Amino acid sequence: MNKMTRFSIWYFLLFVLVILVVQNYFEVRRFHTISYSEFRQLVDVKGIQEITISGDIISGRLTKDGVEFLTQDGKNPELTVLSRQEGMAEPPFTVVRLEDPDLLARLDSQGITYTARLDKTWLTSLLSWLLPMMLLIGVWIYFIRKIGAGAGGGLMSIGKSKAKFYVEDETKVTFKDVAGVEEAIEELQEIIEFLQNPGKFQALGGKIPKGVLLVGPPGTGKTLLGRAVAGEAGVPFLSLTGSDFVEMFVGVGAARVRDLFAQAEEKAPCIIFIDELDAIGKARSLSPITGGHEERENTLNQLLSEMDGFDTRKGVIIMSATNRPEILDPALIRPGRFDRQILVDRPGLRGREEILRVHVRGVKLAEDVDLRKIAARTPGMVGADLANIVNEAALLAARKNKSAAAMADFEEAIDRVMAGLEKRNRVMNPREKEIVAYHETGHALVAESLPTADPVHRVSIIPRGIGALGYTLQLPTEDRYLMTKSELEDRLAVLLGGRAAEELIFQEASTGAQNDLFRATDIARSMVREYGMSPTLGPIAFERDRRPLFLETMMPPSAKDYSEATAQEIDREVSSLVIQAYNRAQEILAGKRDVLDRVAKLLLDQEILEGDDLRRVLNEK
Ligand code: ADP
Ligand code: MG
Ligand code: ZN
């Protein structure tokens, strides 16, 4: 019990006490208590009217004579006062009864009538005790309940999940409030449809993903999307944050997970949304030496087993969001768990404009405000930053007592927010941006020129998207289990296309290709050492199976089981594969110099280029 309740009980007791005192005071005022000797004298002088005897108390009314008798010589001054009050000329009195055998005879002789009344029954006296007690207990229970509800459960309810329920009309967020993430919305739409009409999908034998993981940098609207799904689907929405599971009590996290899924099963169809999954989903410790996070591991294991035991046909979908997918336990991302990942990436120019449009809905804008210009000035910013800019601009306008936010206010707001972000994010200067644009275009053009390479899905030069500065996303058209030598060579050429474009346009390399080179070298090395694809070395494997991951840190590198001369030959073969691929990429790009320029300019302008748009530019001659 906390301080608050105890206080309330004291208040209650004080209240009762005040009532008692007041009541007592009035009784004293209204009933005059006399002594038994006075009573006997009063009987003799006929100073009382009819009396009632009830238990040990005799009560009745005085006569005027009686009052006079009692107040003579200035005795009983309070009775004098009382008798002067309105209707109190013959005030009532009480007296405690004494053993007095001849009382009745004396009353008879004076002609005073008397009645006896039964003493309080045991029931009334019991009630007079019980009622206040029950009242007290009632008040106490009320407060306990209230505290329980407010603080999310006292000691008794540890382990009960703190799931909050957002139902349709509670969450007013809809997809209209989330802009610039059409792709994610499209995928989520499918899930909403399933929840609203599970029968339709099952009839066709369709399989709905069990878990959906929203992945993206902070502030891009993942939590917002989660809430919007609830608003759109109109099904119960059990939402928790990963850290809700992390408790100081052993076993509580696991119990919460169990409870959450039990609740979800009752409410199906429904959505479970676990925000910031990384708080529980961190990879279980690889090294047995560090260990120590058993509690979190228990929680994670419970989550994994609940997800496995779940049947999507019941209509429960588990959604989750994280901005650190790389630290998630691999078991979580395995098929059958969070097998569908939806990328919520930084918005491009058009996306930023749309997000701004969402946020200026509640703001009075001056004529000169151009959202497109604002979007153009804020590359790399996410939804949260843009919401911040709009808010900041509105505040600035209000401070200047303007009736509407003008472009100047937005410019100032951008500068303020930028200054805060510059420390956190890279902000590219125009020259860097140009290099990145050509680099990414290089990848994309090589990929589109090679028949076996996967088609380009999207090219982006928004800083800190998936990669460091920009990225070219290729999506395979089919699942692959085997790759031929020429396909691997094509892949090498695509990876080196970025560097090749830089060399071609700027006659100079930059550090931007670091990751590409690393991956290309890795592929080339595997081709030679593992797949036996080098013509000079022949079909010989120079590497055993990789050691199990969790032992990697603990074991010394194994000794080479081939000669020094072979090692040199391997190195030569690896580098010749890479260099050949690089030359091919350069050839391709040199032949398409004009297209390269055109696409790079377009990319600089739009920041994001979808695969179809890219192919349209390639096809127009
Ligand atoms: P995350 O969970 O990805 O870190 P949030 O969903 O918490 O980001 O976003 C924070 C705020 O930023 C939101 O409440 C919203 O006001 C704004 N915001 C972020 N992304 C968008 C978006 N795509 N469209 C509209 N507003 C957005
Ligand atoms: Mg969030
Ligand atoms: Zn690259």
Residue bearing tokens 């009686």 = 66
The ligand 1 atom at the shortest distance from the C-alpha of residue 347 is 23
pLDDT digits (tens, 9 = 90+) for 148-197: 554 444 444 444 555 555 554 566 788 999 998 888 898 888 888 887 77
In angstroms, rounded to a whole number, what is the distance separating the alpha carbons of residues 359 and 347? Answer: 15
**Is the separation of the CB atoms in 349 and 375 below 8 Å?**
yes
> Which parts of the chain have pLDDT scores under 50?
1-3, 150-159, 168, 287, 289-291, 423-424, 465-467, 545-555
Report yes or no: 222 and 323 within 8 Å, Cβ to Cβ.
yes
Question: Taking the mean position of all CA atoms in its chain, how far away is CA 236?
Answer: 15
All structural domains of the chain: 31-119 (3.30.720.210), 164-285+293-343 (3.40.50.300), 349-419 (1.10.8.60), 430-619 (1.20.58.760)
Measure 217 CA to ligand 2 centroid, in angstroms.
9
Closest ligand 1 atom to Cα of 214: 3
Identify the pLDDT of residue 547.
Answer: 46
Ligand 1 contact via 219 beta carbon (within 6 Å): yes
Secondary structure element (H or E) that encloses residue 177, with its range? none
Q: How far is the CA of 228 from the centre of ligand 2 (A)?
A: 13
Which pLDDT belongs to residue 142?
Answer: 84
In the reported structure, the alpha carbon of residue 523 is separated from the centroid of ligand 3 by a whole-number distance in angstroms of 15
Which pLDDT does position 458 carry in this prediction?
Answer: 81
| Residue 591 Cβ contacting ligand 1 at under 6 Å | no
Q: What is the pLDDT of residues 537-551, one digit of tens each?
A: 888 888 654 444 444
Burial class of 239 by CB neighbour count within 10 A (0 to 12, 13 to 18, 19+): buried
Which of ligand 1's atoms lies nearest the C-alpha of 358? 25
Amino acid found at 485: K
DSSP-derived secondary structure letter, 360: G
From 440, 489, 502, 607, active-site residue: 440
Cα dist. 43→54, 65, 533 in Å? Answer: 18, 11, 132
Catalytic-residue membership of 440 = yes
pTM of the model: 0.54
In sequence order, what DSSP letters do the residues of 422-486 get, joined into one string?
Answer: HTTS----HHHHHHHHHHHHHHHHHHHHSTTSPPEEEEE--TTSSSSS-EEEE--SS--S---HH
